[in-house]
Amino acid sequence: MDWDDDVDARDMLCPLPVLKARKRLAALAPGAVLRIVTTDPVAVIDLPHFCSEAGHEVLSSDADGTATAWLIRKALA
């Protein structure tokens, strides 16, 4: 799947991955897809919770070693 923007949040600890995602999503058009790569184990809780609260959709989360690549679709409204 393609994405519209990319954030490298490797080696950042909570809450920085969520804050980076929120800031970048705010700049994107509704329906755009953000890819964010994290290594913080807490991101598996924080990112889905943030998306649920903000109305964004987690399209996928693919772990590769210590990193997880997330695809998040920005809320339409």
Three-state DSSP class for 75?
Answer: coil
Q: Which single residue is written with the structure tokens 């994290």?
A: 38
Report strand pairing: 57-64 vs 33-38. Answer: unpaired
**Catalytic positions, written as ranges:** 14
Tokens of 36: 């964010």
